[in-house]
Amino acid sequence: MIGDNHVQHIVLLSGGLDSAAALAFVRDSGFPIQPLFVDYGQAARAQERSAAEAVAAHYERSLGLITVAHSRSLTSGEVVGRNGFLISAAACLTGYGRAVIVTGIHAGTPYYDCSEPFLVSMSRLLEEQSDGAIRLLNPFASWMKNEVIDYAAKAGVPISLTYSCERGSVPPCGTCASCRDRQP
């Protein structure tokens, strides 16, 4: 299914550089794309959503939106289960049709839900739950951040429209894991 030009590719678009690069990667491959932003109460949700809307508009796509209401206050740092939740939320939107869920996850982060074992497990889970109709695509899973940045620059990704700060600071704080990851 991956590589099928007739299958919807749902790109989890956080507004950050990695997900914007993933959107460009899928678009450049000629696949039909649906960018999707998930507001799960993250500290940077307003800035991330604004960036995701700008990136989607740059690529002339409408941005899908999922909003999850809950009473827990999320701060910066690791949110356990985040990527599993985001991937599962996107899977729920497929309507049990064929789809590829695309992430901007890259190598070199300390979080388990960015690791190869996690991605293998999530891929297997999606395929088993959907009888093979839903697949997971992580084009940068083996790339380090500098490789994603290089790709984004070469692919013309509108890096200036992206936002990567877990705290939601304006301007970005420069000290959280996402800010440090983005620095050369």
pLDDT tens by residue, 111-167: 899 999 999 999 999 999 999 999 999 999 999 999 999 999 999 999 999 999 888
Per-residue confidence (pLDDT) for residue 130, from 0 to 100: 93
Q: With b meaning 16 or more CB within 10 Å and e meaning fewer, what string describes 127-147? A: eeebeebbbbbbbbbebebee
162: helix, strand or coil: coil
Per-residue confidence (pLDDT) for residue 3, from 0 to 100: 59
Give the closest residue to 141 by CA, choosing from 179, 99, 108, 181: 108
Task: Name the residue type at position 133.
Answer: A
pLDDT tens by residue, 41-58: 888 999 999 999 999 999
146: helix, strand or coil: helix
Domain at 8-182: CATH architecture: 3-Layer(aba) Sandwich (3.40)
pTM of the entire predicted model? 0.92
Whether the CB-CB separation of 28 and 5 falls below 8 Å is answered with: no
Question: What backbone torsions phi and psi does residue 107 show, to the nearest 5 degrees?
Answer: -75, 165
The domains of the chain are located at: 8-182
- Of 73 and 103, which is predicted with more confidence? 103
80: helix, strand or coil: coil
4 falls in which pLDDT band (50, 70, 90)? low
